[in-house]
Amino acid sequence: MKNNNIYLDIHTIQTVPPSNINRDDIGSPKTAQYGGATRARVSSQAWKKAIRTYFLEYGNQTNVGIRSLEIPRYVAGKIREIDETIDSEEALSMAKKTLKSAGVNSNKENKTSALFFIGSQQASGLAQAAIDKLNKKSDLQEIIQDNPAIDIALFGRMVADDPKLNEDASSQVAHALSTHAVQTEFDYFTAIDDFSSSNNAGAGMLGTIEYNSSTLYRYANVAVHEFMNQIKNSEAAVSALKLFIEAFVKSMPTGKSNTFANQTLPQALLITVRPDRPVNLVSAFEKPVQSNQGYVDESIERLADEFTEVSKWVEDPYFTLAVNLENIGAAQETFPRLLEAFEQELTDILSDT
């Protein structure tokens, strides 16, 4: 290896039917202008929340982060897990005192002043410190910074009250954009009152829901070398990155999902691990795809073409893996086999560092 830098790029093409998975402040599907056209947009925050939820539900991870105002109660719960003889009120008081000593203040409602992101192991460490009556700020902050949960390492943590508790994100997640122009549509709906009288034909409720449908280009990257420094265990890091890819592919923001049942999976996936820099291939869609026979096939073709074009500007990747993306010099895999291949390839690279 020429250097110790390792960058993971994840690209997908994913079609989504009529839906409103990420709303703005007036309930409209989020959009963005790109290439002179209005595109459907799903914010990175919305999809990162879906990824974190996937970690909790399917990852079998014991150290996943909790982001909440209720951190004093969370740490108090950890205190009682360690020592059941401590009652709830005393545990909460101990948690608040320990968090304050660490620089994380809470109010009379036992909530932090802002959302705070903490891992399960970090919370357990603070709980033990509270029981042991440790109150030295530097020691407590070290507990908060040690053993970061995988989602805190990936997505970062910002603490305005004390920047020493910040955690730099090793991952970047782009806003998903449609590969084509979109128009917002309106669904007018009514609901009938089941107990309405026979002479009342009116609706019990009526309204409108805005929605659109789109074929999205989605992208994320991870500075693997930075993630390794955070996790400090190569086997655990590889396993976590494998889970991150799985969650990126299989997760879906939940906005209006009961209304639209928009539970799709990507139609194409491209994974690269590079030595020089991450590369976003959204430039493939600066000119919007135009079609009346679907957008997926041309979007996949453009992604492949852009990957080839970008290869003129960057170093050769360590390896490339793909599902349903031909003509890029990568073996076509099923998704489970791609994850297995990724695990083996990255493990081999890390063993050479």
Per-residue pLDDT tens for 96-148?
999 999 999 999 999 998 899 999 999 999 999 999 999 999 999 999 998 88
| Mean predicted confidence (pLDDT) in 81-97 | 96
Nearest of 40, 50, 48 to residue 17 by alpha carbon = 40
pLDDT of residue 290: 96
Asked whether the beta carbons of 204 and 67 are under 8 A apart, the reply is: no
pLDDT of residue 20: 96
Which helix (H) or strand (E) is 34 found in, with range? strand 31-34
**Distance of alpha carbon 156 from alpha carbon 4, whole angstroms:** 22
Task: Record the pTM.
Answer: 0.90
pLDDT band at 201 (very low <50, low <70, confident <90, very high): low
φ, ψ for residue 156 (rounded to 5)? 85, 170
* pLDDT tens digits, 12-42: 999 999 999 999 999 999 999 999 999 999 9
In this structure, is the dihedral angle defined by the CA atoms of residues 339, 343, 348 and 349, taken in order, positive or negative? Answer: positive
Pairing of strands 205-223, 7-19: antiparallel
pLDDT band at 1 (very low <50, low <70, confident <90, very high): very low
Q: What percent of the chain has pLDDT over 70?
A: 96
> Does the structure show a pLDDT above 70 at 339?
yes
